[in-house]
Chains A and B, each alone.
Chain A
Amino acid sequence: MSQKEKIKFDTEAYQKMELLRFTTAGSVDDGKSTLIGRLLYDSKAIFEDQMKSIEETSRKRGEEYTNLALLTDGLKAEREQGITIDVAYRYFSTPKRKFIIADTPGHIQYTRNMVTGASTANLAVILVDARHGLTEQTHRHSFIASLLGIPHVIYCINKMDLVDYSEERYEEIKAELTDFSSKMDVKDVNFIPISALFGDNVVERSKNMEWYTGPTLLYELETVHIASDYNHIDCRFPVQYVIRPQSLEYPDYRGYAGRIAGGVFKPGDKVMALPSGFTSVIKSIDTFEGPVEEAFAPMSVTIRLEDEIDISRGDMIVRENNVPEASQDLEVMVVWLNEKPLQLRGKYRLMHTSKTARALVRDVRYKVDINTLHRIEDDKNVGLNEIARITLRTTEPLFVDPYSRNRQTGSLILIDEATNNTVAACMII
């Protein structure tokens, strides 16, 4: 290994880095792999041996240039068939942030994979081919981003090199997108003209588009404000696990372990346990390093209460004056993820935060045509990769918030009781 490159790594800066999870949408033809390859390459996240390995593979396959898509296609079948089957996670960092890219395939199982990648993303990069403008695919990507509540969307108008870096063309597409995205429920939308192939406005500012004065893609990724993506208003603490050491040192310790799903908790807060409705006061919020003064999402902590009340996994600790809705009848948007279609009146296992229950599908209100966004009311068969609004009846009350208000307490999955497969992703309306 060469030691010529002596770097003094700035540990302090590294510790201040934030984490940004984003998803990329676009088909092979949109230059998505090239864009990801460009980001990884220019931020030095591709190593020499990885580069050598894909150069070799590209050569073997008789390809003219090094195929950066090979970096993301990890499975043998994917490399053989030249397609991406499953979501791949990629990592890179700059001095400002660490990034996790959920790279989702362009064709097969598109919806299922994009929904999976989008479920944890703070941001979506949606590629639009400058030559073709908005397509059905753009509609589909935008709709999924909005449905999954991704707070920030960046439209990259790609292949600007093929339209002579035309400002006019960019403005035209931008106007269309602005008009279209106003119908969607996305908080923060941005537009950047790029050429992933030549690197214009990806990491380096483009010399070919001096008319564009906005940030480069990387700069936008590094600086977009994400601290308020979590709900810091409504206190929600789903209990995951009860810690009872029953040791000589801690004979009576009883702590409720979990990850804060919303709001800010402090010792001394008056809280209520659901479903029992008993109230108490937070005695302390413990971590391995000692008690903390406050805890907020997405911290993993252990809460102790002043009173001995019966609380177990699946229960939720909330503030007395701000309680989630308790309901057995849920209106949800569902994305169907399994080959076996949704069974009307069918029973499924359900997981919501740390709670497990059973659910009955009572009704399919309508399906959504994800290309046109039209409602389909006369066809109630919900199959793989389809999106619909349905109603569920659960065996016991769930403590829920609308998905648009809290992505943790507003989401649930359905599981096939025979196969144990996860068959549906649901967002509570």
Chain B
Amino acid sequence: MFSYRMNHLKELESESIYVMREVAAQFERPCLLFSGGKDSIVLVHLARKAFHPAKIPFPLLHIDTGHNFPETIEFRDRLVAETGARLIVGSVQKSIDEGKAVEEKGYNASRNMLQTVTLLETIEEHKFDAAIGGARRDEEKARAKERFFSHRDEFGQWDPKNQRPELWNIFNGFKNMGEHFRVFPLSNWTEMDIWQYITIEDIDIPELYFSHKRKVIVRDGVILAYTPFLKLRPDEKPVEMVVRFRTIGDATCTGATKSTAASKEEIVDEVAATRITERGGRFDDKRSDSAMEDRKREGYF
């Protein structure tokens, strides 16, 4: 007997594809925010599914902090070649050179906050009216309040207390000139769903996600990759550890975890056993209890 049932991953996939198609239909100039992290890789995978056999009908937009892991950039370029998608890069370095963004100083200096400047500028320059992002509601408490279609005013600001109600699967993408939308097709996915999906669909991800030996700095309990971009405190010395990254972002603020998980299956097991949220290792969220909400209000991802 056939039963009309979908498992939860198939249902989430279908929902995300539906959202992607709404974006393509409702907006004139959408783009997909690509960071090289697993969530944006899954987004690209879903976008391919949504428009198959046509190509993805919008460009990928990478906001490049200049503080990258080389693996991320190699991976990005390979994916772009494979999908035939168009890539647009917004450079934080360029924003700094032009005096539009000011580099932070001190040991915890990061370009994470500066990304917002470059992001908003690139959105304006290319007249993007919708930017698809890989944020999930389970990631962070401010994100739990996010809509699928999230309205941004002409300054790129998010007004969390005054969001449009979002009912059924009807997404209201109407807006005035100069405003845009952030769209989050993965809203209802959890970290575990993402890993399961990557495993089941056998989606390629950067090597950084798998266990490897690396020189790191342990700062306030967070394991940071030892890179030329990190300013060391006088007492800090790089040590070698077997680690992997649970999220991949700017190299100066993405924390690693000690791990021996070397395959997707092992990562799934690890995620199931882990008792710390994946953003627990992100330095950018540790700045204050509402660090994410504050950044989001200003136009962060």
Q: Which residues of A are interface residues toward B (Cβ below 8 A)? A: 1-3, 5-9, 11, 14-19, 44, 47-50, 53, 57, 71-77, 79, 85-91, 93, 97-98, 100, 112-113, 115-116, 119-120, 227-228, 230, 232, 240-241, 243-247, 249-250, 253, 257-259, 264, 286-288, 294, 296-300, 302, 313, 337, 349, 351-354, 407-408, 411-413, 415, 420-422, 425
Contact = CB atoms under 8 A, between A and B. Distances in A.
User: Which residue, A1, A258, A302, A353, has most C-beta atoms of chain B within 10 A?
Assistant: A1
A422 B172 contact: yes
B170 A413 contact: yes
A89 B53 contact: no
Contact of B14 (A93, A286, A300, A352): A300
Contacts of A91: 137-138, 188, 190
A415 B172 contact: yes
A421 B175 CA distance: 9
Nearest to A88: B144
Given A49-B276, A413-B172, A422-B172, A313 B54 contact: no
Contacts of A113: 165
A245 B84 CA distance: 13
Given A112-B165, A288-B48, A89 B4 contact: no
B4 A264 contact: yes
B95 to A, nearest CB: 27
Interface string B152-176: 0000000011011111111010111
Contacts of B137: 89, 91
B84 to A, nearest CB: 10
Contact of A89 (B14, B188, B289): B188
Contact of A296 (B4, B276, B277): B4
Interface string B32-55: 000000000000000011111111
**Top-7 shortest CB links A-B:** A74-B141, A245-B54, A19-B8, A288-B49, A300-B17, A420-B174, A9-B272
A98 B6 CA distance: 12
B164 A422 contact: yes
A180 to B, nearest CB: 26
Contact of A3 (B4, B6, B273): B273
Given A87-B145, A112-B165, A120-B169, A47 B275 contact: yes
A17 B11 CA distance: 10
Interface of B: 2-15, 17-18, 21-22, 24-25, 48-55, 137-138, 140-145, 160-161, 163-170, 172, 174-176, 187-188, 190, 192-193, 196, 199-200, 257-260, 265, 268-277, 280, 289-290, 293-294
A57 B288 CA distance: 12
Contacts of A44: 275
Given A240-B22, A299-B6, A116 B166 contact: yes
B53 A7 contact: no
User: Which residue, A86, A228, A352, has most C-beta atoms of chain B within 10 A?
Assistant: A86
Given A76-B289, A113-B165, A298-B14, 15 more contacts: A2-B275, A5-B273, A5-B275, A11-B265, A18-B5, A18-B11, A47-B280, A89-B187, A227-B4, A240-B22, A243-B53, A257-B50, A337-B165, A408-B169, A420-B175
A1 B257 contact: yes
Contact of A18 (B8, B160, B258, B271): B8
B280 A49 contact: yes
Contacts of B55: 245, 247
A74 B293 contact: yes
Contacts of A299: 6, 10, 14
17 contacts: A1-B258, A9-B271, A16-B7, A74-B143, A75-B145, A88-B145, A115-B165, A115-B167, A240-B18, A241-B21, A245-B54, A298-B14, A353-B170, A354-B25, A411-B170, A415-B174, A420-B174
A129 B267 CA distance: 43
Contacts of A407: 168
B6 A1 contact: no
Contact of A90 (B4, B22, B144, B170): B144
A412 B265 CA distance: 43
B161 A75 contact: yes
Contacts of B142: 74-75
Contacts of A53: 289
A11 B196 contact: yes
A86 B145 contact: yes
User: Which residue, B2, B8, B11, B268, has most C-beta atoms of chain A within 10 A?
Assistant: B8
Contacts of B13: 300
Contacts of B22: 240
Contacts of B269: 6-9
Contacts of A1: 257-259, 274-276
Contacts of A47: 274-277, 280
Given A243-B54, A253-B53, A77 B161 contact: yes
A249 B161 CA distance: 48
A75 to B, nearest CB: 5
A337 B167 CA distance: 11
A74 B167 contact: no
User: Which residue, A8, A85, A352, A420, has most C-beta atoms of chain B within 10 A?
Assistant: A420
A250 B53 CA distance: 8
Nearest to B190: A91
A268 to B, nearest CB: 17
A47 B163 CA distance: 28
A7 B277 contact: no
Contacts of B169: 120, 259, 408
Contact of A244 (B54, B199, B271, B280): B54
Nearest to A20: B8
A263 to B, nearest CB: 10
Nearest to A412: B170
